[in-house]
Amino acid sequence: MKRLIAGVAATMLLACQTSPSEKGTAATFSTEGKQVIAVTTADSTDLRLTVNDTLSFTDMAQPVESQVLVFVDPGKEFQHYEGIGAALTDASAETFYKLPKAAQDEFLKAHFDKQNGIGYNFARTNINSCDFSSDMYTYVQDGDKELKTFDIAHDKKFKLPFIKASIAAAGGKLNLFASPWSPPAFMKDNNDMLKGGKLKPEFYNSWAMYYTKFIKAYEAEGVPVWGISIQNEPMATQRWESCIYTAEEERDFLKNHLGPTMEKEGLKDKKIIVWDHNRDLIYQRAQTYFSDAAASKYIWGIGFHWYEDWSGGLPMYDNIRRVHESFPDKHIFFTEGCAESFDSTRYKAWVLGEEYGRSMINDFNNGMVGFTDWNILLDETGGPNHVQNFCFAPVHADTRTGQLIYTNAYYYIGHFSKFIQPGAKRVAAAASRSQLLTTAFRNPDGKLVVIVMNQSDKKTPYHLWINGKAAETVALPHSITTLLL
């Protein structure tokens, strides 16, 4: 892994240099004199974020139907790009500190280093315990409505040091947002952090203040907090920590309690994300939040997960587009996704990475501005997890041997996070064959990043076509390629 990433890093130093004449030319793009660097990850090969081709453009006027093409129009710009990251949970932190120092250093570089890793710039963490915690906990003593006992001592053992190490590895800046899975049991109508239940109205103000105390406590420890989501999966009654809000309940909690409390406590600059659940109900939730001006003014964006296929259906990618079309001023941000049902015999299963690639391409094309994976690291059991809800992470640690295990999901995510720069604009991209999925971005320096995923077992020659010029290459079976120019 280190050798392959280093090779890409050297290439990127050349590919991303901007000449003075190219600065400030976002409105125009020319292929004249440009070469295309192809970076590929492919099944049944050793290619893992590996530079495997350099392409040149030639004239091509009208393509014909027998040709396979990926069309890119840099002149058609859409939403901006915020970034990509993963969740720094209790489980990830505990696993990290079971590794030897060399493996810890490798892990941090692999995820957060801009040149020698995949350059994550976002992170998520949990407020109070979640399923991926070894134990259940809150930051206050039972019954403390006034929050006089609020204390984040629990997080100082593993999670806060892990977050600080990640920030340092990212060059000193990491956009961290935090999400609660459940308020303390005494604040809920079922008197239990688990199995759903609702926040009692008499605790609305106390719970709103809880977020502000968390933010201030973390920042007092030297960990800046970029934002919060109101509730993880507010329509899911889980056997782990969970809490239910209808759209109206979440809206009203925000506009009458959380939003005003954040402002009063001097935290108006913190981003607030609503929903934080699956694509299936996202339009109804968005309509409810954003149609209320008093609530909408507090909302930076709407978060979503990819688990709506639990019912046996397919991912509802078009629902993201519907929200983007109707509420274009609101950010749409992927806040969680993972491959469920952990099985250590499937570390090399190629579908793990393809799930990421397929979702990221479709969601970016439909208006998503950023992506946050679920646990950044898990152990050889798919945990730790106090309710045995074991899952995959892109990288696992075998804590018995101290070794890191990279699934292909790590590389698939890297094809986006390593090359697209914050502030980039998505541009028009379309493929002429269904086995190829594609999206494209124009970075602030004017360079193009085109991602092409071949989800079939067909070796597919194709041309990258831009304004009457074309560069020929091949999409290997079950591969993803980032084209840089």
Cβ(20)–Cβ(129) under 8 Å?
Answer: no
Q: Is 233 a catalytic residue?
A: yes
Phi, psi for residue 394 in degrees, rounded to 5:
-60, -30
- Selecting among 233, 241, 250, 308, the annotated active-site residue is 233
- Residue among 82, 94, 106, 336 flagged as catalytic: 336
The answer to whether residues 370 and 84 touch, using CB atoms and an 8 Å cutoff, is: yes
* Peptide bond before residue 234 is cis, with ω within 30 degrees of 0: no
Pairing mode of beta strands 479-484, 175-180 = unpaired
Contact 383, 390 (CB under 8 A): yes
Long-range contacts, 144-147 (Cβ 8 Å, 24+): 145/187, 145/203, 145/206, 146/206, 147/206, 147/209, 147/210, 147/213
Neighbours of 114 (CB within 10 A): 17
Question: In the structure encoding, which two tokens stand for residue 334, read together?
Answer: 């992927």
Query: DSSP letters along 443-464, please?
Result: -TTS-EEEEEEE-SSS-EEEEE
Rounded Cα gap, residues 472 and 467, in angstroms? 15
DSSP state string for 55-87? EE-EE--S--TTS-EEEEEEEEEEEE--EEEEE
CA 189, distance to chain mean position in Å, is 33
Q: State the burial class of residue 461 (Cβ atoms within 10 Å of its Cβ: 0-12, 13-18, 19+).
A: exposed
Query: Among this protein's residues, is 336 annotated catalytic?
Result: yes
The structure tokens 């699956």 sit at: 278
Phi then psi dihedrals of residue 379, to 5 deg: -90, -170
Residues with active-site annotation: 233, 336
